[in-house]
Structure 1
Amino acid sequence: MAAKRFHDGYEQDPDQPDDKRMRRLPSFSTVIREAMMQKHMQNLFRLLEPLLRRVVKEELQAGLALSPRYTERLPEMPPVERPTWKLAFRNPPRLPIFTGSKIEDDISNPLEVILVNMDTGSPSALPQALRIELVPLFGEFPQDDREDWAADEFQKGIVKQREGKRPLLTGEVSLTMRDGRATVNELQFTDNSSWVRCRKFRIGVRVVPGSYDGPRILEAMTEAFVVRDHRGELYRKHYPPVLGDDVWRLEKIGKEGAFHRKLAQHRVKTVQEFLRMLTVKPDELRAILGEGMTDRMWEMTTNHARSCVPGDKVYAHNAAHCTIYVNSVFDLVKVEFGGVECPLHQLNKAQTNFVQQLILDAYEHRHSLQEADAVMLHGHAANNIPLLHNAAHVAMPAPADPTLWFQNNSDIDFPVVDDEVPVPQAANFAYQWHGQIFNMPG
């Protein structure tokens, strides 16, 4: 019985004499290779198209420029009017900017718009009042970072609010400029900048069209910036921070992040506590944050913390005949032995070590420190109390008791060597510590 021939589902073409002449199907790799080649060619054509268009356009313009008929038909272009004055912002806005938040300048004052002479660059003024308006601009305006533009170009750069939304910029957007200045007391964005192509806005200001008849006044605009959603303000860092701020307001410490949790476990919850520990126990603070905080991050965090203003409060810590005074972040302000101020820059190594121990003891008892009257500290105002690097020389008379005893330091003894010198004429005093005698100049 003849064997049956199996087919692949295709009937043989009767025009073909035999199977050997059937056309073979291309392999999968061949199909992929041809597809990739076609894609590369399409990309090449896409890249070449703008170049070819520009070349053709330039050649056509060059050819037409040589034609007499074309030259005759060219319209006369009006001369470009150079502005005599320009508007300007006295200070840039403070960043970051959040939706719904008041926009201020970088020194926390209201934005101020001024009129500037284009030739001299100095503030100027016009005899009549000017009506000006503030508008939102695309962050990419103007193209090529030009410093001048036409009025219609500026108009095209204004951003319109999204459909169904409120005006993008609200507040005192219309003002009257008198004597060459106008103050913007209230201004805020109602929408973030994530939906525009460049992801940034600018604030522009111009003379209201049709309200002024005179030489052109160039518009002003700020640098491009991101407008964030107001929900992000809950995690905003403060510049500078204040003592009562949560510690996560510092750079590189995220709210409820790993560093925040580590600090909270050691009761470092505020910027003040962070600064106190940074002053007294910097190595221990560094160890708490761990290896996850790099040296660069540590530098950024500590520099941000040190920008905090400690304030005028001064705290006293007593230890028998010695009293030290520290500020709110435990910077040493003043030292007294036997009720007499000792110049900080004249403390020798042994005395400095002892004072440092007192500062450490004061830190351990920081919650029970007594606040001193900074104004009554021997007549010194808080901001005039000598610090370690600029302490003034103050005479130090001998104490009534020849032996100074310090609490919790029974092995430290400061007997007066020359007790026969009358107190009013005393100039130098010698003290003994662990058998070593050192002088306390008067």
Structure 2
Amino acid sequence: MFCERSSGDVQKEDKSSSVAVILCFFGEQQQGGVSDEAEPFMGSGRFGKSPTSPLHHVKVVSSPFHVALKVNFLCQLFIRLWPDGRNLQLHFRSRLSLPLFTGGKVEGEQGAAIHIVLLDVNTGHVVTSGPESTIKLDVVVLEGDFNNEDDEGWTEEEFESHVVKEREGKRPLLTGDLQVTLKEGVGTLGELTFTDNSSWIRSRKFRLGLKVASGFCEGIRVGEAKTEAFTIKDHRGELYKKHYPPALNDDVWRLEKIGKDGSFHKRLNKSGIFTVEDFVRLVVRDSQKLRTILSSGMSNKMWDALIEHAKTCAMSGKLYVYYADDTRNVGVVFNSIYELSGLITGEQYLLSDSLSDSQKVQKWLIYTKNWFDFDH
């Protein structure tokens, strides 16, 4: 006798239920009975023949051919239930550099490569050995709202139902290296480019996803990976994007809250402020004057965001020195945006943080006396 079950039923039952099926198979095959070892599982206990019991729909199969088929089935069942006790999950180790534009390269933060790993969720360790550590993966595009609120997991069917294809008549949505092979459980995405924006789908956002390629890890569930949701803008928008961080020689409209050819941009240009360097120098020299230039239409919140962004620019390393007189015994040192850096007294150079209050006053007097005479 053999206890025949459909594969769909097996997938829904727990491991304990499957034990009953296995014990039933190894029971006595005489007169439709079962062995003493299997009998307790078929009584009124946990595996009794209730409508919800795993043996409720059991039917007897006596053909040797069917028995052979079921032996193979049981082997597959063991593989699925107890492959090696691991819970395998793909994971993006890098975050994407945003914003993203059509035609632009998909990169990690600060231009870094995008790394992926295969984890054993039970241990938190990377799977560095075994056939799973060298599997090939497919890179796909997902709906931005996929699994938006529930990060606990999803089924393979749910993942596949959220894969996004190109619009009719358009080029493939994602081009480049659409597969990656793991080595010791670690991989790196190749060059990827989006050919279309994300404005046409429901969420107006995409995600990148990773899944096991066909022909690999068959019979073993490996959880797919997904990135955070992001927007894809048309490449023409890149011409007007802000820089993070801004460079000193960038046009001033590269700063937050300053739109190209907008009212703030025109006011700054009219006041002789054309670059980020011009802007931050005036922030140091006379921030109130700058605030007045931008006062109409710029809220305090916008102002704070603008200043915060401007202060992230990298300094050029250039230094300026103001001397109190022709003897050049006392001088004040400034950086490229005119921030006070130190004081020269005789043959000593004192950093700004180490100056006494009286020295700071002296430095400030030299600074204000010579400011308008400085040729920059």
TM-score above 0.5: yes
Q: Partner amino acid for 1:329?
A: I
- CA distance in 1 between counterparts of 2:194 and 2:101 reads 7
Q: How far apart, in 2, do the equivalents of 1:337 and 1:211 lie? A: 73
TM-score normalised to structure 2 length: 0.72
What is the aligned counterpart of 1:172 among 160, 177, 197?
A: 177
Note closer, same or farther for the CA distance 1:217–1:130 as it changes in structure 2 (3 Å cut).
same
Closer/same/farther in 2, CA of residues 292 and 365 from structure 1, 3 Å limit: farther
Q: Cα distance, 1:88 vs. partner?
A: 0.8
| 1:134 is the counterpart of 2:139 | yes
In structure 2, the residue corresponding to 1:135 is in which secondary structure?
strand
Instruction: Give the aligned residue type for 2:88.
Output: W
> Which residue does 2:336 correspond to in 1?
328
The letter for the 1-side match of 2:94 is: N
Are residue 122 (structure 1) and residue 130 (structure 2) matched?
no
Partner letter of residue 323 of structure 1?
G
What residue in structure 2 maps to residue 310 of structure 1? 315
Q: Which amino acid aligns with 2:211?
A: R
Counterparts of 2:187 and 2:164, CA distance in 1:
23
1:99 to 75, 78, 102: 102
Identity of aligned residues (%): 38
User: Which residue is equivalent to 2:217?
Assistant: 212
Can you give the 5+ residue segments of structure 2 that lack an aligned partner in the other structure? 1-49, 60-76
* Cα deviation 1:163-188 (Å, max 9, x = unaligned): 12111111222111102111124112
Q: Give the distance between the partners of 2:107 and 2:367, measured in 1 at CA.
A: 41
Q: Match of 2:89?
A: 86
Decide which structure has the larger Cα Rg and report it.
Answer: 1
Which contiguous aligned blocks of 4+ residues in structure 1 show a shift greater than 6 angstroms? 71-75, 78-83
Q: What is the one-letter code of the residue matched to 1:120?
A: T
AA at the equivalent of 1:309:
A
- Seen in structure 2, the aligned counterparts of structure 1 residues 214 and 363 have a Cα distance that, compared at 3 Å, is farther
Q: Which amino acid aligns with 1:95?
A: L
Cα 1:67–1:119 shift into 2, 3 Å = closer
Residue 189 of structure 1 is matched in structure 2 by: 194
Is 1:225 paired with 2:230?
Answer: yes
Contact 2:177 2:189 (8 Å CA) reproduced: yes
The answer for the alignment partner of 1:113 in structure 2 is 116
1:246 corresponding residue in structure 2 = 251
Q: Residues of 2 paired with 1:289 and 1:267: CA distance?
A: 13
Distance of aligned partners of 1:360 and 1:158 in 2 relative to their CA distance in 1, 3 Å threshold: farther
Measure, in 2, the Cα distance between the counterparts of 1:99 and 1:355: 52
Residue identity in the other structure for 1:133: D
Q: Which amino acid in structure 2 is aligned with residue 240 of structure 1? A: P
Partner Cα distance (2:296, 2:146) in 1:
44
Q: CA deviation at 1:352?
A: 2.9
Aligned to 1:156: 161
Segments of structure 1 that go 5 or more residues without pairing to the other structure are 1-65, 369-442
What secondary structure is seen at the aligned counterpart in 2 of 1:275? helix
- Aligned partner of residue 107 in structure 1, secondary structure: helix
1:301 aligns with 2:309: no
What is the one-letter code of the residue matched to 2:332? I
TM-score normalised by structure 1 residue count = 0.62
Residue 107 of structure 1, CA deviation: 3.3
Amino acid at match of 1:200: K
The structure whose RCO (Cα within 8 Å, separation 6+) is larger is: 2
Secondary structure (helix, strand or coil) at the match of 1:274 reads: helix
Q: For residues 198 and 58 of structure 2, what CA distance do their matches in structure 1 show?
A: 43
* Count of equivalent residues: 299
* Bigger mean CA deviation after superposition, 209-218 or 358-367: 358-367
After superposition, the C-alpha distances for 1:398-421 in whole angstroms (9 at most, x for unaligned) are xxxxxxxxxxxxxxxxxxxxxxxx
Deviations 1:239-283 (A, max 9, x none): 221212111111111111111111111121111111111111111
1:276 is aligned to 281
**Cα distance change of structure 1 residues 295 and 134 upon mapping to structure 2, 3 Å threshold:** same
Amino acid at match of 1:107: Q
Aligned to 1:292: 297
Local SS of the residue matching 1:209: coil
Q: Which residue of 1 aligns with 2:34?
A: none
Task: Report the counterpart of residue 270 of structure 2 in structure 1.
Answer: 265
- Seen in structure 2, the aligned counterparts of structure 1 residues 192 and 327 have a Cα distance that, compared at 3 Å, is same
Q: 1:323 to 1:84 in 2, by over 3 A?
A: same
